[in-house]
Structure 1
Amino acid sequence: MLRFIHAADFHLDSAFAALTPRQAAARRRESRELPVRLANYVNQNNIDLVLLAGDLFDSAASYRDTAEELSAALGQMEAQVYIAPGNHDWYGPGSPYLTVKWPENVHIFTQPRLETMEWPEKNLALHGAAFTHGEQADGFLTGFTAPADGKLHIGLLHGEIDPSEARYDPIRKEEIAASGLAYLALGHIHKGAEPLTFGGTVCAWPGCPEGRGFDELGEKGFYSGTIDDSGKVSLTFVPFARRRYEILTVDVTEQDPRAAIEAALPADTAQDLYRILLTGETGEGSVHTDALKAALADRFYALELRDRTRLAEDLWAKAEEDSLRGLFLRDLKQQLAQAQTEEDRQRVTMAARFGLAALDHRDLG
């Protein structure tokens, strides 16, 4: 029985540009601690094999100290480690894979074609390849079939299955089915996916182990698995992220916005980053997002509030008044009906709010 983990897309040294400078620096430090945490998991769970399917760095010219910290952490693993560089951390001049010394238990694939590494003690053959540029139009798996030699055959690649555009190692389903691999460990897709099976080959993307923005939501981690002597693969997803990105939609119609948000939140959000979309109907005053954000700030690591509320219908009814107020609302109501996007509708709604406040000599805040 071979015990392994499959991880990918660390994107070390990501900018975290949407956060404050202090929080961005803290998140970069946390991401650099990920390999050490992973090494502890490997050693505590008697893992034999570590498969890292590319984009471990956010660029091919990462900071040297980041690469040295990764190298040291991988060297602490009591396991064999294999790396297939991806489109962000491609193997080439200036790459940390070339400029940093890597420990003996780490093998980095360096060629833009499949190479085979033998591990006789485990009756294993591992096949992998490297991006050597930012794009890879030719599929690494094209024309490959593992020999029927009684060994376990595993593939390690950074790529996409049946993409609409051939830029990042396009892999065809029929190629996977014909590959003869027991398992194909993939990187590149940041959202973890359920394992797929084509022919006799199981393949999976673990996603990224830490989200970096609101396009990488929810639980993040890696796969832990086993392969028995017959080639049967068993996988378990291991949540591993320190912080989650979440988007929460809250309807504040006829409710106090703060109370509505607090009622919708899960119990523990202090470590997480939230974008809260406020929807529903409100009066002329809208939602005071700055004050609301300040009141809720200690509930989150970072909080972003977006006002997507609309004016209550009874306010638009006043467009029928024979008054300056009615004339103003009739014009905006027509613009609202012609709006093509949510952003356009929000602009009209905000114009109505501020205009009504001006007519009534109110401070909208």
Structure 2
Amino acid sequence: MKIMHCADIHLDSKMESRLTCEQAAKRREEMLMTFHDSLDYAAEQGVRAVLISGDLFDKRHIRKTVKDKVEQEIVSHREMDFYYLRGNHDITDFLDEMDELPGNLHLFSKDKWTSYPLPDDNIVITGRELDAKASPDVMSELVLDQSKVNIVMLHGMDSEYPVHDNSYVIDLTKMRGRYIDYLALGHIHSYRWEKLDERGVLCYPGCMEGRGFDECGKKGFVVLDIDKDGVKSHKFISLARRELHEIKVELAPEDDLDSIISKVKDVLNYSPEKDLIRVVLTGRKNMDLEIDCDWIKDKTDRNFFYYEVRDDTKTKINYETFANDRSLKGTFVRTVQGLDMDEERKARIIEIGIRAIMEGSLIE
């Protein structure tokens, strides 16, 4: 039996913090089309069950056209059963607006563990919608039949990671030894597959489309081949229309603007124009070099869908140059050099101070 596992699709996400309104609108439509394509792919592969481990939608207010399209996707794929476990972003009225739930859409509860036996396959899908308010004893209430192939769905953050929202924190140590064959997780937006215990495996499929530069690289979903003995194989599938790339370019103190432009162009040679690109300048630069990110961007842009340049360089200060300098600039550098603080902070103060001194002399 084949099962598709996806999560964190975040349909109708605003995405206007960096993108123009037109770009954001295009990305929203592309995310919806990627969801459509993934279901068509699943149907072609003979998938019988689709696991959505939370955050199908992004926010409370979702356009009606989007809700209607999602409902139509479920209804039109009647050969597949959808198991939708809502995540911390799924606070829309998507389900309330349906006249009746499609017969192939199965939901879960916050109040108890809900199980769905799959006919003729000895497989049981169990899940519960949890948040930060969930009882600490909630895992002790999970009782599974060890003679079954058990799939457990949850949406939450692995306890090894910091939590910044009201999502449930999953303590994986409490999931071990509970006869779980496949732990179908959502909330972390990067693909992750690993052993849970001697019997089972866990998976975060990640999101289907990256939205920000904390979601770089391949994005997609997982298709499992599972039978009465457990998970036989799995495959990560990416149908994303665009990828996000954060590319670091290391500078040296001897670099000037021309060499920086050359370095940036070199690393961009392998970046598709359809993608979203961030170049981050790192390393150390000469104190006299002023980096203009907008200028570098204009000189190196190849009409990427989105492109930005960020300056994360550190300034190299050659204190020997100012040892015998009796000017205001030399006095300033020696004063800062004697301060009790780390070198990075000193370098930043010196860079700003000298720039102010030079600009002041030009005004005079």
For Structure 1 versus Structure 2, the TM-score category normalised by the shorter chain is 0.7 to 0.9
Q: How many angstroms apart in 1 are the aligned matches of 2:132 and 2:61?
A: 12
1:183 aligns with 2:174: no
Distance 1:64 1:353, change over 3 A: farther
After TM superposition, which residue ranges in structure 1, 4 or more long, deviate above 6 angstroms? none
Secondary structure at the aligned position of 1:87 is classed as coil
Q: Note the C-alpha offset of 1:10.
A: 0.8
Q: In the TM superposition, what are the counterparts of 1:52-71 in structure 2 within 5 Å?
A: 52-71=52-71
Q: Note the C-alpha offset of 1:11.
A: 1.2
Secondary structure at the aligned position of 2:192 is classed as coil
The match for 1:89 is: 90
1:271 aligns with 2:308: no
Q: What TM-score, normalized by structure 1, do the two folds share?
A: 0.85
Q: Which moved more, 1:349-358 or 1:150-159?
A: 349-358
Distance 1:269 1:153, change over 3 A: same
Q: How many angstroms apart in 2 are the aligned matches of 1:249 and 1:109?
A: 43
Q: How many angstroms apart in 1 are the aligned matches of 2:46 and 2:234?
A: 16
The match for 1:156 is: 153
Q: How many angstroms apart in 1 are the aligned matches of 2:274 and 2:354?
A: 35
Secondary structure at the aligned position of 1:257 is classed as helix
- For 1:22, give the aligned amino acid: E
Per-residue displacement from partner, 1:70-100 (whole Å, max 9, x unpaired)? 121233333111111111115xxx6312223
Q: In the TM superposition, what are the counterparts of 1:1-365 in structure 2 within 5 Å?
A: 2-16=1-15, 17-77=17-77, 78-90=79-91, 95-100=93-98, 102-131=101-130, 135-138=133-136, 140-148=138-146, 150-162=147-159, 168-253=167-252, 254-255=254-255, 256-265=259-268, 267-279=270-282, 280-282=284-286, 284-314=288-318, 317-318=321-322, 320-333=324-337, 338=341, 347-348=348-349, 350-352=351-353, 354-355=355-356, 357-358=358-359, 361=362
Q: How many angstroms apart in 2 are the aligned matches of 1:139 and 1:300?
A: 50
Contact kept? 1:74, 1:106, Cα under 8 Å: yes
Q: How many angstroms apart in 2 are the aligned matches of 1:76 and 1:144?
A: 33
Per-residue displacement from partner, 1:93-141 (whole Å, max 9, x unpaired)? x63122235432221224432111122233332112224x775354653
Contact kept? 2:185, 2:204, Cα under 8 Å: yes
Q: How many angstroms apart in 1 are the aligned matches of 2:83 and 2:204?
A: 16
Secondary structure at the aligned position of 1:260 is classed as helix
Q: Note the C-alpha offset of 1:20.
A: 2.3
Q: Note the C-alpha offset of 1:174.
A: 4.4
Distance 1:251 1:206, change over 3 A: same
Distance 1:213 1:351, change over 3 A: same
**Any gaps of 5 or more consecutive residues in structure 1?**
none
Contact kept? 2:329, 2:354, Cα under 8 Å: no
Q: How many angstroms apart in 2 are the aligned matches of 1:107 and 1:161?
A: 25
Contact kept? 1:284, 1:357, Cα under 8 Å: no
Q: How many angstroms apart in 2 are the aligned matches of 1:228 and 1:49?
A: 13
Secondary structure at the aligned position of 2:150 is classed as strand
Q: Note the C-alpha offset of 1:8.
A: 0.3
**Any gaps of 5 or more consecutive residues in structure 2?**
none
Q: Which moved more, 1:186-195 or 1:310-319?
A: 310-319
Secondary structure at the aligned position of 2:184 is classed as strand
Contact kept? 2:53, 2:184, Cα under 8 Å: yes
Q: Note the C-alpha offset of 1:9.
A: 0.6
Distance 1:302 1:345, change over 3 A: farther
Q: How many angstroms apart in 2 are the aligned matches of 1:6 and 1:346?
A: 50
Secondary structure at the aligned position of 1:122 is classed as coil
Distance 1:120 1:194, change over 3 A: closer
- For 2:80, give the aligned amino acid: A
Distance 1:348 1:308, change over 3 A: farther
Q: How many angstroms apart in 2 are the aligned matches of 1:160 and 1:277?
A: 28
Contact kept? 1:173, 1:198, Cα under 8 Å: no
Q: How many angstroms apart in 2 are the aligned matches of 1:282 and 1:147?
A: 66
Q: Note the C-alpha offset of 1:333.
A: 4.4
Per-residue displacement from partner, 1:274-326 (whole Å, max 9, x unpaired)? 22221322351322222111122225221221223344544872353011231
